[in-house]
Amino acid sequence: MKADVVLGLQWGDEGKGKIVDVLTPAYRVIARFQGGPNAGHSLEFEDKKFVLHTIPSGIFHETVTNIIGNGVVIDPVILMAEINKLNALGVDVSKRLLISKKAHLILPTHRIIDAAAEAAKGKTKIGSTLKGIGPTYMDKTGRNGLRVGDILSSAFMERYTALKNKHIEFLKQFDYAYEVEEYEKQWMEGIENLRSFSFVESEYAINKYFSEGHKILAEGAQGSLLDVDFGSYPYVTSSSTICAGACTGLGIAPGKIGVVMGIFKAYCTRVGSGPFPTELDNEVGERIRQAGREFGATTGRARRTGWLDLVALKYAVMISGVTQLIMTKADVLDDFDEIQVAVAYTSNGEEIQHLPFEINDPLEPVYKTFKGWKRPISGIKNEAELPFELMNYVRFIEKETGVPVKIISVGPDRAQTIVR
């Protein structure tokens, strides 16, 4: 058996939560492999809406096991709040969730360092979600981190205090006032509560599921253009958001990767700072923001909006070897007379068709214009009823990327999904 992978191909918020929830019935295991509570994955069904931050989006399906893999970073306060909310809805999370002992812990002081470092950056700030993601991955690669499995050690408190003190020393370089005690209290409660969950060596757990013939779906967080290596550095997150991240973040051998599903919105959004060549900082962008309800699921910040960027999409497809595309939020463009797609950039007066190293320098998009369909599509149930103009747009994307669009999502609800 192989593991299929779902990835965001843009700057996050492509609709991964919704799509993973839709795909879950075909799988035995849903596993998160990177990121942490910087993610906000929304699910809608039966007139209810849920936002998940650390827990995989398969949690609402009773017979599915959800795994938080070694590549994920966990804030016990946020995780427990999420679990309590789900329990209140009647979802018995402890029966459906396994947590990797190797997943790293976000300490209260990691959050403070995140905030202090961002404040010190001033105008060049990343626009981080301030959940402590960057500092936690820094301690992971710097070999200082604390992991979930360490909770079980008698030396845990000693190691916690040593790392916290290191952080307090580090924070002295910033002119930043902070208070840690209140959050630390909640954090310790979170750690205590976590003890009742099943900690596993998720690489063994996953490979056992494989050997028993079960199907696994790896759920990405963030998007390819926020990848620490291939994203618009330094305006990125601190983990591997691409397909390879599923291997290192779960212990899946590269040869065991099956279908690689890449999700993209019919347009583009970005939250936080950094380059966005097709950004529409105007009334058209505002129309997309309102129609698409483009406000962050984690921070509530208004998302920046713009046209689809095919140069960037092709790059993301290349890096992850995407074999199937999923287009979301086509319905948001229902009212537009014309829809534009960037097919190249002009850089220093020269036309280029690749994402350059100098992505932070001005890039002028070269657009191809498509006729809009000008009718509501969110009630459509099958492909044959989709407007010709939309299918024209879809076929162009398939031709340019060389990858079939297998799913078209026409609304936030589970049911508003057309599988081709």
For the segment 37-76, give every residue that binds ligand IMO (CB under 6 A). Answer: 38-41
Q: At what angle do helices 76-88 and 181-194 cross, to 10 degrees?
A: 60
Q: Tell me whether residue 13 is one of the annotated catalytic residues.
A: yes
Considering only 15, 35, 36, 40, the residue that binds Mg ion (CB under 5 A) is 40
CA proximity to 250, closest of 200, 306, 196, 182: 200
d(CA 314, CA 353): 10
Closer of 197 and 295 to Mg ion (Cβ): 295
Report how far residue 140's alpha carbon sits from residue 70's, in angstroms, rounded to the nearest whole number: 11
Partners of 67 in the β-ladder: 31, 98
Binds Mg ion (CB under 5 A): choice among 4, 13, 21, 219: 13
What is the C-alpha separation between 299 and 115, in angstroms, rounded?
14
Q: Is 98 exposed, middle or buried (0-12, 13-18, 19+ CB in 10 A)?
A: buried
Helical (H) or strand (E) element with 67: strand 65-68
Contact present, 276 and 306 (Cβ < 8 Å) = yes
User: Interface with ligand GDP by CB under 6 A: which range of 96-104, 282-290, 389-397, 405-413?
Assistant: 405-413
Candidates 258, 233, 308; CA nearest to 278 is: 308
For residue 44, how many other CB atoms are within 10 A of its CB? 17
Using rule CB under 5 A, residue 412 touches Mg ion: no
Chain Cα centroid distance, residue 169: 32
Is residue 15 a contact residue for ligand GDP (CB under 6 A)?
A: yes
The two beta strands, 304-306 and 417-419, are: unpaired
Q: Is 224 in the site for ligand GDP (CB under 6 A)?
A: no
Rg (CA), the chain: 21
Q: Which of residues 180-239 bind ligand IMO (CB under 6 A)?
A: 221-223, 226, 237
Q: Please tell me whether the peptide bond between 234 and the residue prior to it is cis, using omega within 30 degrees of 0.
A: yes
**Residue 15 found at the interface with Mg ion (CB under 5 A):** no
Pick from 13, 82, 114, 309: which binds ligand GDP (CB under 6 A)? 13
SS3 content of the chain, % helix, strand, coil (to 5): 35, 25, 40
In angstroms, the CA 353 to CA 366 distance is 10
The one catalytic residue among 13, 21, 114, 413? 13
Nearer to ligand IMO, 137 or 345 (CB): 137
265-294 footprint of ligand GDP as x/- string (CB under 6 A)? ----------------------------x-
Q: What b/e readout covers 142-172, taking b as 16+ CB neighbours within 10 angstroms?
A: eeebbbbbbbeeeeeeeebeebbeebeeebe
- Interface residue with ligand GDP among 86, 332, 355, 359 (CB under 6 A) is 332
Please identify which residue in 4, 14, 75, 139 interacts with ligand GDP, judged by CB under 6 A.
14
Query: Which tokens in the block code for residue 238?
Result: 């601190």
Residue 40 vs 262, nearer CB to Mg ion? 40
Taking CB under 6 A as the binding criterion, the range among 26-34, 35-43, 148-156, 343-351 that sits at the site for ligand IMO is 35-43
What is the rounded distance in angstroms from the CA atom of residue 108 to the CA atom of residue 191? 12
Of residues 84-103, which lie at the interface with Mg ion (CB under 5 A)? none
Task: Considering the candidates 41, 53, 104, 167, report the single residue annotated as catalytic.
Answer: 41
Alpha carbons 307 and 418: distance in angstroms, whole number:
22
Residue 140 binding ligand IMO, by CB under 6 A:
no
- Rounded least distance, CB 101 to ligand IMO, Å: 23
281 part of the active site: no
Name the minimum Å distance from CB 121 to ligand IMO: 12
Nearest C-alpha neighbor of 279 from the set 302, 306, 312, 308? 306
| Strand pairing category for 65-68 and 29-32 | parallel
Residue 20 makes contact with ligand IMO by CB under 6 A? no
Shortest distance (Å) from residue 13 CB to ligand IMO: 5
Interface pattern 285-324 for Mg ion (x via CB under 5 A): ------------x---------------------------
Choose the one of ligand GDP, Mg ion, ligand IMO, none that binds residue 131, judging by a C-beta under 5 to 8 angstroms depending on kind. ligand IMO
Binds ligand GDP (CB under 6 A): choice among 34, 42, 240, 320: 42
For the CB of residue 51, give the shortest distance to Mg ion in the complex, in Å.
8
Query: Site residues (CB under 6 A) for ligand GDP?
Result: 8, 12-18, 40-42, 44, 293, 297, 328-329, 331-332, 409-412
Under the rule (CB under 5 A), what is the footprint of Mg ion? Answer: 13, 40, 297
Q: Which residues bind ligand IMO (CB under 6 A)?
A: 8, 11-13, 38-41, 126-129, 131, 133-134, 221-223, 226, 237, 271-272, 297
Which residues participate in catalysis according to the annotation? Answer: 13, 41
